[in-house]
Amino acid sequence: MDEIIEMFKGGTVLGENLSEVTYFTCIKMLSESLGKLSLKFYQDTDEGVKRAKSNQVAQRLKIRPNPYMTPSTFWATVEFNKNQYGNAYVWTRWHKGNLQDLWILPPNSVQILIDNAGIFGKSNAMYYLYEDPETNKKYKFNHKEILHFKTGTSRDGITGLSVQQILASTVEGNKSSQSFMNHLYKSGLTAKAALEYTGDLNKEAKKKLVKGFEEFSSGSENAGKIIPVPLGMKLTPLDIKLTDSQFFELKKYSSLQIAAAFGIKPNHINDYEKSSYSNSEMQNLSFYVDTLLFILKQYEEEISYKLLSDDEQKKGYYFKFNVNSILRADVKTQMESLAAGVNNGIYLINEARSYIDLPKVEGGDKPIVNGNYIPLKQVGNQYNKKKGGD
């Protein structure tokens, strides 16, 4: 275990783009969305889909992927790496057929090798090469040992491209605009000023004069204070407003472009210009369908394929994220939906109760329907019976 910890302690260097607030907000949104979903174990049988009895792999994923990470932290970190670097790699450590733990590899330290010459054995096999950034020691992993999650944008279907690679100029532009704003706040002026004076001043005298004015005008502590101007001099602000150059409109447009690249809706970055809290349920549904559905499907396919044996896959076992926490509506709508499901025989009573974290009740595992319902073939029979009785 000590060797494994030493192997990964090099960590990952965060990119400077995280300082751009829209970029950071989008990555945070996606990471936390994945982290709050629980991973369930199912089996697809002839009688339909049912919750499968937990095996050793399912227990590992449910309780603790490794000794130092909860499942929420683990999957949130994986999703962060995927979006920040385009790819996320997880080493699955096995011993005698049992999954011991899962370790997140720093993406910048992983290379993908295609052995087209069959040097390592099988021709055209794919391997993952991890290089420890501190010791420079290299580790080779078979493709089945690595869970590889990539963004939806890829040139070859093997490695993904990050948003910061695709929108480099847009992200950099937003960072520059924020740096410009920070400089304005720091200087205490919204624009430059022209200093008029008579006579000649050498270079050093000019610097000293300008420095004196800056000491009185810069910083929040000098906001609103009077600037003393020596006799014979005149300080004229160059009143160029940010609104005149549509600075904020352009910055907002760039922010929306970055959010759109991540699949994030404007309301998720606090832009409620065309939305409101009243339609939050539909917004959550849209976020799930338009953004999360593809991401979750990729995770589920990779996890099920590489962590379950061929025999288990043939028997219909698979992993699936529970999205109820995202799609959960307000209490009134939720109760009406569950009641309709139970009354129409879609949900069992205990299934509906488990959905809202209530315990099972006796007799709740039998389907029930409204007694007024009859098969379509029997519609009108009651009238025929009355007619025959007359």
Q: Which of 272, 244, 245, 280 is CA-nearest to residue 256?
A: 272
Same domain for 61 and 160? yes
Indicate the pTM of the whole model.
Answer: 0.72
Domain end (from 275, 299, 327): 327
Same domain for 76 and 2? yes
Domain end (from 207, 222, 245): 245
Beta strand pairing call for 110-115 and 233-237: unpaired
- For 82-104, letters b (16+ CB in 10 Å) and e give bbbbbbbbbbbeeeeeebebbbb
Q: Which of 328, 331, 326 is CA-nearest to residue 287?
A: 326
Q: Where is 256: in which H helix or E strand?
A: helix 247-262
The confidence score (pLDDT) of residue 179 equals 64
Same domain for 285 and 138? yes
Same domain for 78 and 153? yes
Same domain for 176 and 283? no
Give 10-residue mean pLDDT values along the chain (390 residues).
Answer: 50 54 88 94 89 94 96 97 95 94 96 78 84 91 95 90 75 60 55 64 72 60 56 63 49 74 81 61 81 95 97 96 77 82 87 83 84 67 61
Give the 3-state secondary structure percentages of the chain, helix then strand then coil, rounded to 5: 50, 20, 35
291 DSSP 8-state letter: I
Residue with the two structure tokens 């959550």: 284
Number of domains in the chain: 3
The confidence score (pLDDT) of residue 4 equals 46
Same domain for 6 and 140? yes
Same domain for 200 and 300? no
Same domain for 179 and 110? no
Same domain for 106 and 116? yes
Give yes or no for a contact between 217 and 188, defined as CB atoms under 8 angstroms apart. Answer: yes
Residue with the two structure tokens 């009406």: 336
Based on DSSP, count helices (H) and strands (E) in the chain, helices before strands.
15, 11
Q: Which of 246, 241, 251 is CA-nearest to residue 191?
A: 241
Measured from the Cβ of residue 191, the count of other Cβ atoms closer than 10 Å reads 12
Same domain for 195 and 256? no
Q: What is the 3-state secondary structure (H, E, C) of 14-63?
A: CCHHHHCHHHHHHHHHHHHHHHCCCEEEEEEECCEEEECCCCHHHHHHHH
User: What beta strand segments (E) does 106-239 contain?
Assistant: 110-115, 125-131, 138-142, 146-150, 193-197, 233-237
Same domain for 88 and 30? yes
Domain end (from 327, 352, 373): 327
Give yes or no for a contact between 269 and 223, defined as CB atoms under 8 angstroms apart. Answer: no
Give yes or no for a contact between 196 and 277, defined as CB atoms under 8 angstroms apart. Answer: no
The confidence score (pLDDT) of residue 106 equals 95
Same domain for 175 and 161? no
3-class SS of residue 105: strand
Residue-range definition of the domain harbouring residue 358: 329-390
Give yes or no for a contact between 83 and 30, defined as CB atoms under 8 angstroms apart. Answer: yes
